[in-house]
Structure 1
Amino acid sequence: MQFQKNNREVEIKLKKHTIGFIGSGVMGQSMAGHLMKAGYELNIYTRTKSKAARLIEEGAKWKDSVAGLASSSDIIITIVGYPADVEEVYLGENGILEHAGQDSYLIDMTTSAPNLAQTIAEQASAKGMFAFDAPVSGGDIGARNAALTIMVGGEQEPFEEIRPVLEVMGQNIVLQGSSGAGQHTKMCNQIAIATGMLGVCEAIMYAEHAGLDPKTVLKSIEAGAAGSWSLSNLAPRMINGDEAPGFYVKHFIKDMKIAIDAAEQMEIPVPGLKLAKELYDRFSEAGGAEKGTQALYTYYQLMATGEA
C-alpha cells in the first residue's frame, strides 16, 4: 500500500492491525490522522469527545473508555499530558494493562518519566504484552508533516513489528535501548532545547536593540554554526508575535522537571536547564502556561523594560 508523506509516495507493508489512539491534542490530531490515511483502522478515545470530532468524522471509531479501546485494539498508542495521566491510563483499574489482550503492542509517545516507562514495560511483559516508550520531537510542525523524531525504548524484535506504524508518523526513528531509554533520550533533547531557547530569545532581543532587522539577521545566523531547529522554526514566530502553541509552556515545564529530577538522581549538574526552568516558571506564573514555548520571548521583552 502507498500513502502520501511530504509529497513522496511511501510504500508500507500493512498488517491487519487495529490501532487504538488515546490523546488528540496539538500533535495527536495529526498523528492519528496520518494513521487513518495510511489505511489503518483506528479506534479513538479522549476525555473530551468533542476534541476527537474531526477524527471521528474522518472515520475513526469512538470508544467511550480506555478499557473499551484497549480491549478492541491490538496496537495502542498514547500521547497524553503528564506522567500522572500515563500512570492512570496504563496502570489504573480501568487501564490498558487490565484490558488489552495478550500480544498487544503498547506505545506511549508522551514525554514521561523513565522509571514509569520501565514499570509499565515490566508489568506488560508479565501479561504477555510488548510495551515501548516512544516520545517524540518536532512539535506541531513535525506532527503535521509526519516528520517527527521518535525515540524508542523497548525490545528489538517487537520493535521491528511496530516500525511501519511509527514510520507513518515520523522520519527519524531510533531504538535507543531497553525500556526507559526513549524517555532518557527525550530528556537529552529537552535539555538541549531548554538552554538553546534562552540563546534564541537573547539573540533576537540583541538584534532588535542593536537596530537590526531580526528577520535579516536570521538569514545569516540560522545557516551558520548557530543554526538549530528552534532558531529556524521558532525565532520567526517570536519576531511575528505568534504565541500559538506548537508545544505548550506548561508541558515544557513538566519535561524540564522530569529531566532535573533524573539528573539529580544521577548526581550530575544541569545549571543551564535549571535556569531555563526558572524563567519558564516565572513566565507561566505571569500567565504564559497555555502559550507556545516560543512565547518566552514576551517575558524577555518584559524583563528588558523592567516590567518583569
Structure 2
Amino acid sequence: MSNSVTVAFLGMGTMGAPMAANLARHGHALTVWNRTPDRPGLTLAQAAGAKVANSIAEAVSQAQIIFTCLGDVPDVTAVLLGEGGVLENAPPHSLVVDFSTIGRETAVFLAQQLQARSLRFLDVPVSGGDVGAQQGTLTMMVGGDPTDFAQVLPYLQAMGKNITYCGPVGSGQAVKLCNQVLAALHMVALCEALTLAEAQGLDPQLVVQVCGTGAAGSWALSHLGPKILDGNLEPGFMVQHILKDLRLVQSTIQTQGLNLQGVALAEQRFQQVGDLPHGLGQGTQAMIRTYRENL
C-alpha cells in the first residue's frame, strides 16, 4: 500500500524498529529517528525503506502522523514536550500516536499539552513482545478520539493483529496495566510450576507440553517456558521494563486504595532478578533465576 501521508517514527529500540520496518514494507513514506544514532534498529528500518533523520525536527517537520515507541515516562515527555521535540516542530493538526507504556495520568497530561498546540494524541500501548513486533501481530490497546483512531487504523494494521479501541485518552494505558498484571503473575506461576516439576523429578518439558493444552495454558507458558528450558534468557521484554510497568501499576493501586498482593509478589521477584548481575537487561523469563539461585 502506498499513499501521500508522511509518517515519522521516533524510537528504534527492540519494539520500535521492527514496527517501523513493517510500516515501511507496507509502502508508507516513513522517516525514523533514534536518540542513539548507532542503534541496529535504524539499519533495520532503513533496509525496509525508511529514511533516517538526524533530529526530531527533521523527522516530524512534515509529518502528518507521528509514532513514538520509547522506554519510560521521562523519555516520552522529553521527546514530545522537551526542547527540540515534537511539540515545537510538528505541523498543526498532526496526530501523535504513542506506543509506550506510561500510565493513564501521563497519557492524559501529554494529550492536554499537545492539544493546546493543535496536535492530536492517541495512547496505544502494545503487547506481544519482540516476536509480535517482528511479525506484525501485536495486540494494541487504543485510547483517544474515535475519529483519530479511524484515521490511523490502517497504519496500526501494518504492525498489529488484535487492535481494540478502549475509550478516551488514557484508556489504552489502563488496559495495558491490567495486561501487565496478568503477564507478571503468569511468570510467577510459570517459574513456580517448573520448580515444582523439577522437585518431583519430572522433566519440566512435560509441564510445558501438557499444561499448555489445558486450562492452565498461557502465552507465558507456551512462549517463555521453552526459553527457560533452553537456558535462553535473552530479552523479548526486559526485566527493567516490566519493573517500570509494575511501578505504574503500584501507583494506580495506591491511588485507588486497592490491595493486590499478587502484584507485590511479582514486583518483588522481578526486583530480585534486577539485583542480579545482568538481570535488568535479561528477559522476563529470567525470573527463574530467583528460584534456582535460592534468593
Same fold (TM over 0.5): yes
In structure 2, what is the Cα distance between the partners aligned to 1:118 and 1:190? 20
Structure 1 residues 60-69 or 192-201, which shifts more? 60-69
1:253 to 243, 246, 269: 243
1:281 has 2:271 as partner: yes
Deviations 1:215-260 (A, max 9, x none): 1222210111101111110011111110000000001100000111
Q: Which residue of 1 aligns with 2:9?
A: 21
Per-residue deviation, 1:78: 0.6
Q: Which residue of 1 aligns with 2:57?
A: 67
1:143 to 114, 133, 138: 133
Q: Which residue of 2 aligns with 1:233?
A: 223
1:298 to 285, 289, 295: 289
1:41 has 2:29 as partner: yes
Q: Which residue of 2 aligns with 1:8?
A: none
Kept in 1, the 8 Å contact 2:33–2:54? The answer is yes
Q: Which residue of 2 aligns with 1:31?
A: 19
- Which amino acid letter does the alignment assign opposite residue 292 of structure 1? G
In structure 1, what is the Cα distance between the partners aligned to 2:49 and 2:183? 36
In structure 2, what is the Cα distance between the partners aligned to 1:58 and 1:45? 14
Q: Which residue of 2 aligns with 1:200?
A: 190
Deviations 1:126-153 (A, max 9, x none): 2222200100000011111110000011
- Which amino acid letter does the alignment assign opposite residue 66 of structure 2? I
The count of residues paired between Structure 1 and Structure 2 equals: 292
Q: Runs of 5+ in structure 1 lacking a partner?
A: 2-13
Q: Which residue of 1 aligns with 2:99?
A: 109
Q: Runs of 5+ in structure 2 lacking a partner?
A: none
- Which amino acid letter does the alignment assign opposite residue 209 of structure 1? A
Kept in 1, the 8 Å contact 2:18–2:45? The answer is no
Q: Which residue of 2 aligns with 1:267?
A: 257
- State the secondary structure of the residue aligned to 1:230: helix
In structure 2, what is the Cα distance between the partners aligned to 1:83 and 1:90? 11
Distance 1:120 1:150, change over 3 A: same
- Which amino acid letter does the alignment assign opposite residue 53 of structure 1? T
1:121 has 2:111 as partner: yes
What TM-score comes out, normalization by structure 2 length? Answer: 0.96
Per-residue deviation, 1:33: 0.7
In structure 1, what is the Cα distance between the partners aligned to 2:7 and 2:268? 39
What TM-score comes out, normalization by structure 1 length? Answer: 0.92
| 1:78-97 map, 5 Å | 78-97=68-87
| 1:112-191 map, 5 Å | 112-191=102-181
Deviations 1:52-102 (A, max 9, x none): 123224432121111221212111111111100011011112111121111
- Which amino acid letter does the alignment assign opposite residue 296 of structure 1? M
In structure 2, what is the Cα distance between the partners aligned to 1:18 and 1:208? 54
In structure 1, what is the Cα distance between the partners aligned to 2:282 and 2:37? 23
Structure 1 residues 143-152 or 49-58, which shifts more? 49-58
In structure 2, what is the Cα distance between the partners aligned to 1:16 and 1:123? 28
